[in-house]
Amino acid sequence: MIELLFLLLPVAAAYGYVMGKNSAKNQALEQSRQITSEYSKGLKFLLDREEDQGLEHLTKLLEVSADSVDHYLTLASLFRKRGELDRAIKIHELLLKQPNLDEEVVKSCRLELAQDYILAGLLDSAEEHLVILVKLGFKEALDPILNLYSQTRDWRKGMHMYEAHSELFKKNSHCATIANFYCEAAVLENNPSLFEKATSLAHETVRPLYEMGKDAYKHDDYVKCIYYWRKLVSQFVFMAPLVLEELESCYVKLNIHEQFFELISELLEKGGVLIRIKFCQGMVRQGKISEAVEFLTDSLKREPSIRGFSYLLQLLSGKDAKIDHVLQEIDKLVKSYIATKPNYQCGHCGFTSHTMYWLCPSCKHWESLAPSRGLDGY
Ligand SMILES: [Zn+2]
């Protein structure tokens, strides 16, 4: 009889297993039902603009399942896209209050909340959260906080942040932004030593070289100006039109104009139409007018340019009195056409302007404007 009871043991074990499984399944089903119910209620209240009650239900949902964080983030992002920033802020604030969230999730929520505050114009609140994130070494906070300091023109705050957390600044764009902060502060505080710092932290930026040359030019230190701007045009030939006229005048004032021609000859292959015009002007000074005409005509066939065409008209005039008048009239028309064209263009958003801006007024990128290229450009 006892042996028979042993035979029943596997049956009892199987029964226990099935019951246990069913009980776990039931528990999971009950939890899922609770999640769906709280989520639906919370969502309904939020959609009905009854935020307090909506958030109360969503808080309960968080207590039942921490996995629901993704739903919140999606929901908040949806509200933000619809421009309903108050709702997005409430959801992100709610998430940050939860005690058991993963550290990385908390950082993401804080970043999202800071983005909401920026869009809502609550810059102080945004800064507060972004500063916490930078102190925690969260690199994703660098772009928004640098944009925020650019917007508020808090150059010093940005510089202090860089000095305290320089290990986070690995990207060229971040270093270039800080270099521009140093330049802005140097100009604002009339403190040229800050330009040196800007150069040391970002070798791929134009601005420090430009500002140091400009400062030297302002103080009639032409040798120093040539030193910086020669470096600028050699390293960033596409920016040459920004300084070329003044750079040439430095060589003229020092009575070493031929050295400018040597520099232009070095840049000829990489440079645009302005470099080619300067090269032709060098040839004209040497009396080689026909060679200059031939050179420019050839280069215009390969790369058409309105500015090049205008200079060619100047080179051709004076040869025949009968057609001089016509050439001069055409040149006037061409020059007035050029005057309507923007001198600078943003490589990031396409914004165009007659004035050079180091911070693009449209997309807020630093050093994204450059002298325009192509048919109407330099
Ligand atoms: Zn732009």
Q: How far apart are the CA of 349 and the centre of ligand 1, in A?
A: 4
- The reported pLDDT for the residue numbered 320 is 77
Mean pLDDT of 56-83: 76
Mean pLDDT score of the chain: 87
pLDDT band at 7 (very low <50, low <70, confident <90, very high): very low
Residues 311-338: tens digit of each pLDDT:
999 999 877 777 888 888 888 898 889 8
User: Which of 46-50, 91-95, 282-286, 302-306 has the lowest average pLDDT?
Assistant: 46-50
Per-range mean pLDDT, top range of 9-13, 88-92, 216-220: 216-220
Q: How far apart are the CA of 370 and the centre of ligand 1, in A?
A: 10
Q: How far apart are the CA of 137 and the centre of ligand 1, in A?
A: 28
> Would you state the structure tokens that stand for residue 275, as one six-digit string?
């470099």
Indicate if the pLDDT at residue 5 is higher than 90: no
Which strands sit side by side in the sheet containing 352-353, from one edge to the other? 352-353, 344-346, 369-371
Half-sphere exposure of 292 (CA within 13 A, CB side): 23
Q: Tell me how crowded residue 194 is: count the other CB atoms within 10 A of its CB.
A: 22
- The reported pLDDT for the residue numbered 204 is 80
Q: How far apart are the CA of 8 and the centre of ligand 1, in A?
A: 80
Contact between 118 and 148 (Cβ < 8 Å): yes
Q: How far apart are the CA of 355 and the centre of ligand 1, in A?
A: 13
> Would you state the structure tokens that stand for residue 43, as one six-digit string?
């969502």
- The reported pLDDT for the residue numbered 250 is 98
Dist. CA 167–CA 175, nearest whole Å: 11
Q: How far apart are the CA of 352 and the centre of ligand 1, in A?
A: 8
H or E element that contains 194: helix 193-201
Indicate if the pLDDT at residue 10 is higher than 50: no
pLDDT band at 111 (very low <50, low <70, confident <90, very high): very high
Dist. CA 351–CA 372, nearest whole Å: 11
Residues 165-213: tens digit of each pLDDT:
999 999 989 999 999 999 999 999 999 999 989 988 877 889 999 999 9
Q: How many helices (H) and strands (E) does the chain have?
A: 18, 3
Dist. CA 173–CA 367, nearest whole Å: 10
Q: How far apart are the CA of 69 and the centre of ligand 1, in A?
A: 35
pLDDT band at 28 (very low <50, low <70, confident <90, very high): low
pTM, whole model, 2 decimals? Answer: 0.78
Mean pLDDT of 158-162: 97
- Counting residues of the chain whose pLDDT is more than 90, the rounded percentage is 64
> Would you state the structure tokens that stand for residue 272, as one six-digit string?
């645009």
Mean pLDDT of 141-168: 96
Q: How far apart are the CA of 244 and the centre of ligand 1, in A?
A: 24
Residues 220-278: tens digit of each pLDDT:
999 999 999 999 999 999 999 999 999 999 999 999 999 999 999 999 999 999 999 99
Dist. CA 314–CA 298, nearest whole Å: 16
Q: How far apart are the CA of 173 and the centre of ligand 1, in A?
A: 14
> Would you state the structure tokens that stand for residue 241, as one six-digit string?
């039109």
Q: How far apart are the CA of 345 and the centre of ligand 1, in A?
A: 8
- The reported pLDDT for the residue numbered 39 is 66
- The reported pLDDT for the residue numbered 268 is 94
Indicate if the pLDDT at residue 52 is higher than 80: no
Q: How far apart are the CA of 348 and the centre of ligand 1, in A?
A: 5
Indicate if the pLDDT at residue 21 is higher than 60: no
Q: How far apart are the CA of 205 and the centre of ligand 1, in A?
A: 17
pLDDT band at 99 (very low <50, low <70, confident <90, very high): confident
Q: How far apart are the CA of 217 and the centre of ligand 1, in A?
A: 29
- The reported pLDDT for the residue numbered 69 is 81
H or E element that contains 8: helix 2-47
Residues 258-267: tens digit of each pLDDT:
999 999 999 9
Q: How far apart are the CA of 363 and the centre of ligand 1, in A?
A: 4
Q: How far apart are the CA of 357 and the centre of ligand 1, in A?
A: 10
Indicate if the pLDDT at residue 131 is higher than 50: yes
